[in-house]
Amino acid sequence: MAYQALYRTFRSQRFGDIVGQSLISKTLKNAVMNGTMSHAYLFTGPRGTGKTSAARIFAKAVNCTSTHDGEPCNECQTCKEITQGSLEDVIEIDAASNNGVEEIRRLRETVKFPPSVAKIKVYIIDEVHMLTNQAFNALLKTLEEPPERVLFVLATTEVHKVPATILSRTQRFDFKRISMNDIVEHLKHVLNEVNQPFEEEALVIIARAAQGGMRDALSILDQAISFSDEQLTKEVALKMTGSMTSEVLAQYFLAITEKNAEVALEIINEMLSSGKEAKRFVEDSLLFLRDALMIDFAPKFVEELSGENRSAKSVKEKMTREEVFSAIHVLNKTLESLSSSTNAQVQLEVMTIQMITPQQMATSQLNVPTSRELDGLKQEILLLQQEINELKTQPQPNAKATPQNRSNVTIKTNYKDPIDRILKLLPNATKEIRKEVREVWTDMLSMLSTPQRANFQRYSIVAATPNEVVIMFENNLSFLAEKISMDEGLKLAVSNNLSRLTRYAPELVPVTQAGWDKIKESFRAAQATEEVPKEVEKQKSDPIIQEATELFGDLVRVHEEE
């Protein structure tokens, strides 16, 4: 028989076999025992934490002919066929490669047929976040009105990409990262099963590199066993994971505390020359400093998770907490920049110098606001002061004073309304789209961050197409229109949020009230000229003309008296 990878050989076959997800396992078992299964489930969490395995076990449990305490027997014909992947009533779909609307439509056609062999037909859709918006809309119809004897299990690593309409129609289970202790214990079990001698320190290194994913841990273990001569040693695990020994990390950080750049840079050079990855070095350094902090605050976790804390203790005795915090900050920044850098060695050398000279580098890390941001803040302060003054000077009941009209106070900006663009998009604008956008607008705003929501004050949605939404600000808030037009991140967030709540992903087009008035005048003037085609008058039923009337009022032709 051909060799099978460890993660396939030791794949969980019962709820009790799933490592680190006891709460989810118990809930699903109880649902099977009590017959209270929902029609749709959503399994979300990091990769390698048991989502797909749990879905297959659940499919076996609901169809098993001899369940015991909610667990499948794994002996009946149905269980065996599901384990082998040959039962036609359990359909697994990889949404990463079948993400179009046509695939989901085919699913909708087949889902109405009853199961041929099993009691319940089960659809397992992996990486469901990869579906297109149109495919999600097609799937939504099935989830809203599910046929009898059909069960959906959706799995994803990026639940934030799944539309809220899908989330609200499923029971959600969040799979957590598996603890290092649980991974180490499971690796021991696997090695004992295959009669492989090992050093426990090697398993700790592998478990740490797996970052909470059991599948990754078993894949690394598979490689390490193949590389080992007899015993699986710490040295083999370090080579397989590219990890650094705690002794080398201790030498590096001791050189940092002693301001010895030459020694620290030499360690960096030797590490890269030996084929180690720069990213792995930074990640190991972060975990090493984490242990150094935990020695003071929670030593129990250092003993349980690392097994080697003597080196971390020696560094902690030399570094203050402030120095540790500063080093962690620099390491995190370096980790972010490594993904886009073409020269890892330069990044690590700069990182080393930054940690040796934190005081000198502190100033460069400050985020200095730009003059445009300062102008915007000043304008917002002026508005707030104006509103406070209005509250203080409210007229008495018998007073004849006229309340101050805050719209008279206009802050000057250089914003130029996109009049031409709006005139071009208006033929595609419809009141149906505008109504749909208005209905979900409050939900869309709640999905933005607090600073982003602060940009939406005293405005109205005046037009909408499948690709644009025109929002009009009062004249004295033209600086907000300018700010939104230049904030690509905000416009992208609004577009993404609307795409989850509607069928569209429109871009924001801000305009001032004065600009909108000009647009209406331009439209009316165009209708009054002789160059306008006569068909406009004849085709009153044209949806574009109807929408224009909805936006601007009835068409009027003006004739000058001679």
**CATH number, position 41:** 3.40.50.300
Task: Give first-to-last CA distance, the chain, whole Å.
Answer: 101
Question: Which residue did the predictor score with more confidence, 470 or 527?
Answer: 470
> Within this chain, do residues 431 and 498 fall inside the same structural domain, yes or no?
yes
Q: In this predicted structure, which of 85-89, 192-196, 222-226, 288-292 has the lowest mean pLDDT? A: 288-292
The two counts, helices (H) then strands (E), for the chain are: 28, 8
Of 122, 146, 174, the residue at which a domain comes to its end is: 174
Predicted TM-score (pTM) of the model is 0.56
Q: Are 492 and 479 in contact (CB under 8 A)?
A: no
> Residue 510: pLDDT above 60?
yes
Q: In this predicted structure, which of 77-91, 130-144, 174-188, 358-372 has the lowest mean pLDDT? A: 358-372
Please report which confidence band the pLDDT of residue 495 belongs to, taking 50, 70 and 90 as the band edges. confident
Q: Is position 510 within any domain? A: yes
Beta bridge partners of 93: 125
Q: Is 269 helix (H, G, I), strand (E, B) or coil?
A: helix
Of 329, 361, 393, the residue at which a domain comes to its end is: 361
> Within this chain, do residues 431 and 508 fall inside the same structural domain, yes or no?
yes
> Residue 544: pLDDT above 60?
no
So what's the pLDDT on residue 387? 67
> Within this chain, do residues 305 and 225 fall inside the same structural domain, yes or no?
no
Percent of the chain with pLDDT over 90: 17
> Residue 370: pLDDT above 60?
no
**What span, in angstroms and rounded, lies between the C-alpha atoms of 53 and 171?**
17
Q: Are 130 and 99 in contact (CB under 8 A)?
A: yes
> Within this chain, do residues 229 and 304 fall inside the same structural domain, yes or no?
no
So what's the pLDDT on residue 10? 86
State both tokens at 545: 């003309």
Burial of residue 555, with CB atoms counted within 10 A of its CB: 0-12 exposed, 13-18 middle, 19 or more buried: middle
Q: Is position 425 within any domain? A: yes
Q: How far is CA 118 from CA 12, 59, 66, 490, in A?
A: 21, 10, 13, 49
The pLDDT mean for the chain works out to: 80
Residues 6 or more apart in contact with residue 561 via CB below 8 angstroms: none
Burial of residue 415, with CB atoms counted within 10 A of its CB: 0-12 exposed, 13-18 middle, 19 or more buried: buried
Of 216, 241, 266, the residue at which a domain comes to its end is: 241
**What span, in angstroms and rounded, lies between the C-alpha atoms of 255 and 238?**
22
> Residue 363: pLDDT above 50?
no
Q: Is position 388 within any domain? A: no
**What span, in angstroms and rounded, lies between the C-alpha atoms of 485 and 540?**
35
List the one residue out of 217, 224, 206, 233 whose CA is nearest residue 19. Answer: 217
Domain hosting 520: range is: 419-552
User: What CATH number does residue 250 fall under?
Assistant: 1.20.272.10
Report which DSSP code applies to 128: G
pLDDT tens per residue, range 186-241: 999 999 988 888 888 888 888 888 888 899 899 989 888 888 878 888 888 888 88
Task: List the strands of the sheet with 171-174, edge to edge.
Answer: 90-94, 121-126, 150-156, 40-44, 171-174
User: What CATH number does residue 212 fall under?
Assistant: 1.10.8.60
Overall number of domains in the chain: 4
Q: How far is CA 132 from CA 137, 486, 507, in A?
A: 9, 28, 19
> Within this chain, do residues 12 and 154 fall inside the same structural domain, yes or no?
yes
So what's the pLDDT on residue 271? 85
Please count the residues of the chain.
562
Q: Are 283 and 348 in contact (CB under 8 A)?
A: no
A 10 A CB-CB count for 466 gives 14
Which residue has tokens 């710490």? 234
